[in-house]
Amino acid sequence: MISAYTGTQIRAAEEPLLAAGMGAVLMQRASQGLANAVIRELQARGRKLYGASVAVLAGKGNNGGDGLFAAALLAARGVRTTAVLTGGAAHPEALAAFERAGGRVHILTDSTLNRLTAEVARADVVIDAVLGTGAKGGLRGTAAALAGRLLYSGLGGSLVVACDVPSGMDADTGEVHAPVLSADLTVTFGAAKAGLLADPGADHAGRVHVVPIGIEENLPWPALRRFEAGDLFRLLPRPGRRSHKYSRGVLGVVAGSADYPGAAVLACRGALAAGVGMVRYLGPPEAAQAVRQSCPEVVCSASSVADTHVQAWLVGSGMGPSDAEQLQRARDAVESGLPVIADAGALPALPAVLAPHVVLTPHAGELASLLERLRSIPDGSAADSRFTESPAAESPAFGQGADRAAVEAHTLGAVRYAAGLTEATVLLKGATTLVASPFQDFYSQADGVPWLASAGSGDVLAGIIGALLAQLGSDVGRFRDAGIDPDERWAAIAALAASLHGLAGTTASAGGPLTAGRIADVLPEVWGKVSTLSIRLAQERNSHPHPLR
């Protein structure tokens, strides 16, 4: 499991060490890790250090200090190093070390902007060390002009390495203040920053590499976590010798409509592929007919929710506002008190305040509509007081109403805000899928490929979540043993499903387009390979001294 923290949490964890006079030591560890990462990248490209060129964009704070100390270490190894001081001044000791090592220093001003832009663009490696966790807002003045020009003219073949975070990205939230240089690699210190694992920050972070600096013992509960193959191996269900189909979990599916029968089929296929003991489908004859044809394993009927014995419900995929009977079933499923995954058409039809065992699965557009709807409810006191102090609650992006763009620009804040308002577990779909429990646990999964953005892919995800809710919803001990608060298991189950969906999508794509049904087709094989993958990742981690975690 990868744990990520806000920049604020990391700074608090550094505090006792700074008070003990260890600031310089922390900075040496950080800059050594950064220099090592640059050396590895050059070597991986078959470049000799001698004669390679590195340009460091250095701000006037400690982030610039890290960049300059790292560049000094590189200069000592024969790398041609240039520093561009973006804030006029620089960390004094780091600048002195850089000059002693033979690095060339330039001050960025309006009159040097053109010349320095060209020089930076020619470097083999550009280290972005303008702003780190101490930044307020984005790049300003000539630093912004330099970044804008580098983005506009392109950096040629330069490798961009962000020091701690890409400058202009908010380490706490992943919000991005343009212009931001997109990094190929972010070398981050102490622990991963939450903003690097949430969009749009993740768009600019590239690969993330963590350099331990000795603050690990002071770190609090993580702001965000990410499951890896080993976690999937540990947490996914396996039938016991005496299992039978009912003990393995039965999922009730209320999805699809006369207009969208395919959504019912894809949700059922996702559920069947994710190991559920049985699927019972309730819906109109057109959709039931399609389900029977594609999935003869599914038991179809037009019964009521009350008369259907299941362990969990999936509701909403492929349903619209005119599907009154299906929407009533969706509301009944939520009333039943059983775990529910509520997708698409069910989202606008459910009560405003739900419970953690209800998992809502909006994409950004649907989340914007949900937030709008909650905002317009006169008793907006749906918000739990613990969340009214969250940055999102105060954010103008949501205070004045939300649209898709606002959600996409503030994904972490939006999903957290929605979970607080609804008291449900909320999974926000996208390139990075975020899951927020209404308590304190948040997950970020990014196991998929962009080819997953295809019609019906979300229906398969709903089926996978439903199948895992039915199988794992009552298995409190499994989560407790894995260090997950049983009350927070709904978020963990949704994150496991998102990870499986992403891995299956990656396999189904194999570098090319995919259709949603293929995600379900390959899922059992991917599930079976999770153990092999888990062992391989553990081996890779042992061979790399500083993995992302």
Ligand X SMILES: Nc1ncnc2c1ncn2[C@@H]1O[C@H](COP(=O)(O)OP(=O)(O)O)[C@@H](O)[C@H]1O
From CA 363, how far away is CA 371, in angstroms rounded? 12
Decide: is 318 part of the binding site for ligand NPW (CB under 6 A): no
Shortest distance, CB of residue 57 to K ion, whole angstroms?
Answer: 8
Annotate each residue in 174-213 with x if it binds ligand NPW (CB under 6 A) or - if it does not, as one string. ---------------x-----------------------x
Q: Indicate which single residue of 2, 30, 202, 548 sits in contact with ligand NPW (rule: CB under 6 A).
A: 30
> What φ, ψ does residue 77 adopt, rounded to 5°?
-95, 10
- Give the H/E segment covering residue 105: strand 104-107
Q: Is 210 helix (H, G, I), strand (E, B) or coil?
A: strand
Least distance from K ion to the Cβ atom of residue 160, Å: 10
CA angle 298–303–305, rounded 5-degree value: 95
Q: Alpha-carbon Rg of the chain, whole angstroms?
A: 25
Site for K ion in 105-164 (CB under 5 A): 128, 163
What's the first-to-final CA gap in the chain, in angstroms?
7
66 binds, among K ion, ligand NPW, ligand X, none (CB under 5 to 8 A by kind): ligand NPW
The phi and psi torsions of 346 (rounded to 5 degrees) equal -75, -25
Could you tell me how many residues of this chain bind ligand NPW (CB under 6 A)?
28
Q: Which residues have a Cβ under 8 Å from the Cβ of 106 and sit 6 or more positions away?
A: 82, 83, 84, 85, 112, 116, 119
- Taking CB within 5 to 8 Å according to partner kind, which of K ion, ligand X, ligand NPW, none is near residue 463? none
CB of 381 to ligand NPW, least distance (A): 36
Does the protein bind ligand X through residue 455 (CB under 6 A)? yes
CA–CA dist 73, 360 (Å, integer) = 50
**Which partner from the list K ion, ligand X, ligand NPW, none does 167 bind, CB cut-off 5 to 8 Å by kind?**
K ion
Report if residue 430 touches ligand X, rule: CB under 6 A.
yes
Q: Which stretch binds ligand NPW (CB under 6 A): 129-137, 463-471, 489-497, 514-522?
A: 129-137
Report residue 292 as tokens: 């029977």
- For residue 500, the number of C-alpha atoms closer than 13 Å in the C-beta half-sphere is 38
Among 124, 128, 164, 459, binds ligand NPW (CB under 6 A): 164
Question: Per rule CB under 5 A, is residue 278 in the interface with K ion?
Answer: no
Q: Shortest CA distance to 202 belongs to which of 408, 13, 396, 38?
A: 408
Q: Using CB under 6 A as the criterion, which residues of the chain lie in contact with ligand NPW when the complex forms?
A: 14, 18, 23, 26-27, 30, 59-64, 66, 87, 131-140, 163-164, 189, 213
Q: Using CB under 6 A as the criterion, which residues of the chain lie in contact with ligand X when the complex forms?
A: 363, 429-431, 433, 448-450, 452-453, 455-459, 461, 501
Q: Using CB under 5 A as the criterion, which residues of the chain lie in contact with K ion when the complex forms?
A: 128, 163, 167
